[in-house]
Amino acid sequence: MAVQALAKFHPMDVDTAQGAAAETGLPVDKLQEMIGHIGGEGALGRYASMLQGGNLGDIASDLLGKS
């Protein structure tokens, strides 16, 4: 849920963490922490693209460090 909200707000012209916080009810600082754990805004953009494309296999491979 949180990652989907981050992916949704990443391409928008708003603060990603604040938009996701408004949608999920999670604290902004925790969402910013998640962005950091994912690998930053650049990596989040890549995951956002994969989520929008529905390519869960690629997401799972990336998260597990497999190519």
Model confidence at 7, pLDDT cuts 50, 70, 90, reads: confident
Contact present, 38 and 29 (Cβ < 8 Å): no
Q: What pTM value is reported for the model? A: 0.70
Helix axes 2-9, 16-24, angle to 10 degrees: 140
Mind listing the pLDDT tens digit for each residue in 12-22? 999 999 999 99
Q: Which residues contact 8 (CB under 8 A, 6 or more apart)?
A: 19, 20, 23, 48
- The per-residue pLDDT for range 9-67, each reduced to its tens digit, is 988 999 999 999 999 999 999 999 999 998 898 888 887 777 777 655 565 566 666 55
